[in-house]
Chain A
Amino acid sequence: MKAVRRYTKGMWTFIHKLGSPPWFFGFSGTLVRWLLPITVTLLLVGAVWGLLVAPPDFRQGNSYRIIYVHVPAAVVALAGYYVMAFAGAVSLIWRIKMADVTMRAAAPVGAVLTAIALVTGAIWGKPTWGTWWVWDARITSMLILLFLYLGVVALFEAYENKTAAARACAVLSLVGMVNIPIIYKSVDWWYSLHQPASIKFTGESAIDSSMLYPLLLMIVAFYCLFAVTLLLNMRAELVWTHRESGWLKQLVGDS
């Protein structure tokens, strides 16, 4: 029982510390120094594994290898929206500035990953089904996710007062977050209602473990990449917005 209490107390202290810019800056610096090389390694290993080592697909041949960038980008793009919305919620409820910074940093990264997922999905579609674009459930849901991201970015740019902008974006991304499961489900139903019975564009086929493992590795790698990019963006913003503060001047002076 005591151990649980100490653990939860430790967690709260940690979260509190994250809210302090100087502490976060130091912590993220150490974290990035380790995470960046790890991310690059994971990405390279995963890509080589998926491109060269894994066997080709029975039906699609070698074009299926695009899955190793398409699916991780799509998965992390969706998760990224939740990160953004969650940070927005924290910012709205507890008025923590660092949560604002997190949310702002997550938006463009998520949008780029969504775009990558869409483009690679389209490229994958051409050799597989003969057309560059197919309105199947997953691609259509990804497209709507892109619009949701772009809406948040556009809303932020439209406000002059950036504190108000952050709060507006928090409200919007929260509404979007609640909506996303509904959107995905409705698009799923929309697609299954309209597809001709003979053609099935995205079939659920069991994936062999020799193809699954590199995919999982790439998903982990993309998550790490998201984290790294998020931290780098946050650090760059902190250095600018806190350029007048003592702790930063001290760090610069020591460097």
Chain B
Amino acid sequence: MTSPADVANPLLFFFMVITLFPLGLGPDPTRLATLAPGILWVVALLASLMVSAKLFASDFEDGSLEQLALAPYPLAVTALAEVSAHWLATGFLLALVSPVFGVMLGLPEAGLLALLVSLLLGTICLTLIGALGSALTVNIRRGGLLLSLLIIPLNVPVLIFGTTAVREAVLGGNPESWLALLGGLALGSLVVVPLAIGAALRVSLDS
């Protein structure tokens, strides 16, 4: 099922791409610190995109997805279970290690907890939306790039709320309201998106 590589690769991707930014922007600590919330969040989003493509791919190829569709449980519930397992192996871990990379980019200590919490909540949304993209494109040749096209606009609110929460924490403001918004988005996504994923899986199976 989930090999160690599947878990390690997104984290390595996160690590390496984060490193590109000081290399590209220059090592000035003040500038990096200002840009850190945005950089960390955008790279997390890209990492999430990367792993989403594989979410339903293996199940689709070996036919187990069709079996799941025939099961007495609604496909939405099965999808939610799969997405949760996927999140624990990807987004959840990414959120946990993110403070380390925050420090590397000079993010002030005040922002580190907000970074972790915002990514914990945010990756729930990112994984769900990514799963929807995967469900829609799993039966298409070279669906990976199309997946990114479909998902990126839908992830904009999560990105905005997440980065603002971190920035507010750094400035000594009130990150709680932004984190609450993220929590609301996560809750809403947990209820609504699995239904869409179920419908999308049926479309892919029928096509």
Identify the A interface with B (CB < 8 A).
92, 144, 147-148, 150-151, 154-155, 158-161, 164-165, 167-168, 171-172, 174-176, 178-179, 182-183, 185-187, 189-190, 193
Contact = CB atoms under 8 A, between A and B. Distances in A.
Given A154-B149, A183-B153, A167 B164 contact: no
B192 interface: yes
Given A158-B137, A158-B146, A164-B207, A175 B156 contact: no
Contacts of A193: 164
A154 B146 contact: yes
B132 interface: yes
B207 A147 contact: no
Contacts, number: 77
B160 A187 contact: yes
A167 B185 contact: no
Interface of A is mostly: helix
Contact size range, B: 20 to 34
B193 interface: yes
18 contacts: A147-B149, A148-B154, A155-B136, A158-B143, A159-B140, A159-B207, A167-B203, A167-B206, A168-B200, A168-B207, A171-B136, A172-B136, A176-B154, A179-B154, A186-B161, A187-B156, A190-B160, A190-B164
Given A158-B146, A171-B200, A190-B164, A178 B207 contact: no
Contacts of A168: 136, 200, 203-204, 207
Contacts of A172: 136, 150
